[in-house]
Structures are given as structure tokens and as C-alpha cells.
């Protein structure tokens, strides 16, 4: 959803080296951590979020809008990423196969999400600084506190 019109609660993404990105809550409420992994797919996002290879990871979707074709049970692989990061979450899917939107898919599986993040800047940062552990939180709105918690991940 366009950040100018988004009424969702604020959410934060904190990287282990202290960088914090702000956005809006989507999916399940809460806090999740994992290693950031990047997905460049423009469709099949429900498969990426439920792929066992991404279990306990924080998936960054680089395609500008995620959710425009919706989700269905046939494409659910059963596992779950810890969290997802995206630029724009489409609230109104338009595929005949869709039985639910991506936001509901995430919420039902307990996957914490953040939208409104400049994923291009995030991926460029990862390219220049290497892999990062991260925390996505819809409950902690203090960037300093969350950055400290993310830094603790690097120490573990």
C-alpha cells in the first residue's frame, strides 16, 4: 500500500550492524529474527515464504509489489519464513486461482511482515556490506533498542 495512505501500525527492520529501516506492519504481529535472504521473484511469493529452504530466514522481496496474484493452498509448501520484507503489499489480488490475499496468508502462518521498505536500498546495502542477521518487529517501535537487539545477534 502506498506509504502516504497506509494506516497500518509502524514496523521496524534492524540489521545486526545497527542499520534500521522503518515501514508498516503486515502479516502477523510480533517480532522475528533470522538471516536476510533475497528473492527476486515477481510471483510465487507464497512459495518463497513457505519454502523449507527459507525456514527461519527473513526474506526480502525485491519486486516492487508483492501479492497481486494472491495465494491458494495448492502453492503452500508448509514451512514458514520467520519474516518478510517488501516495498508494497497489494491489498487486492486479481488471479482466478486466489483464495486469500498475501497479508492473510502471512498472518495465518505467523509470519511477521514489514512493507514500505526501500528494498532496492536494502539490497544495495547487503551487496556492499555482506550478509546480515536481522530482526523485524511490529511491537518494538524504538529503533535504538531494536538495533541493540539486532547487534546482539551478531555477537551470538
Write the pLDDT tens digit of every residue in 52-78: 999 989 999 999 999 999 888 888 888
Cell numbers at 57, concatenated = 530466514
CATH number at residue 19: 3.50.30.20
Burial tier of 40 (Cβ tally within 10 Å: 0-12, 13-18, 19+) = exposed
Write b or e for each residue in 89-110: b if 16 or more Cβ atoms lie within 10 A of its Cβ, otherwise e.
bbeebeeeebeebbbebbbebe
Global pTM value: 0.92
Cell numbers at 45, concatenated = 511469493
pLDDT of residue 96: 87
Asked if residue 142 belongs to a domain, the reply is: no
Mean pLDDT of all residues belonging to the chain: 91
Cell numbers at 28, concatenated = 502477523
Number of domains in the chain: 1
pLDDT of residue 95: 86
Range of the domain at 25: 10-135
Asked if residue 40 belongs to a domain, the reply is: yes
pLDDT above 90 covers what percent of the chain? 74
Cell numbers at 142, concatenated = 524504538
Amino acid at each position: 500500500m502506498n506509504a502516504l495512505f497506509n494506516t497500518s501500525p509502524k514496523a521496524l527492520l534492524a540489521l545486526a550492524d545497527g542499520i534500521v529501516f522503518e515501514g508498516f506492519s503486515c502479516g502477523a504481529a510480533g517480532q522475528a529474527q533470522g538471516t536476510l535472504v533475497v528473492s527476486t521473484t515477481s510471483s510465487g511469493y507464497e512459495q518463497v515464504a513457505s519454502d523449507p529452504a527459507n525456514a527461519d530466514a527473513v526474506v526480502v522481496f525485491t519486486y516492487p509489489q508483492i501479492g497481486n496474484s494472491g495465494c491458494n493452498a495448492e502453492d503452500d509448501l508448509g514451512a514458514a519464513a520467520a519474516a518478510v520484507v517488501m516495498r508494497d503489499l497489494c491489498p487486492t489480488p486479481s488471479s482466478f486461482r486466489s483464495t486469500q490475499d498475501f497479508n492473510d496468508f502471512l498472518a495465518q502462518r505467523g509470519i511477521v511482515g514489514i512493507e514500505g521498505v526501500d528494498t532496492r536500498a536494502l539490497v544495495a546495502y547487503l551487496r556492499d556490506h555482506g550478509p546480515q542477521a536481522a530482526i523485524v518487529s511490529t511491537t518494538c517501535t524504538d529503533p535504538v533498542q531494536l538495533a541493540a537487539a539486532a547487534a546482539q545477534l551478531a555477537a551470538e
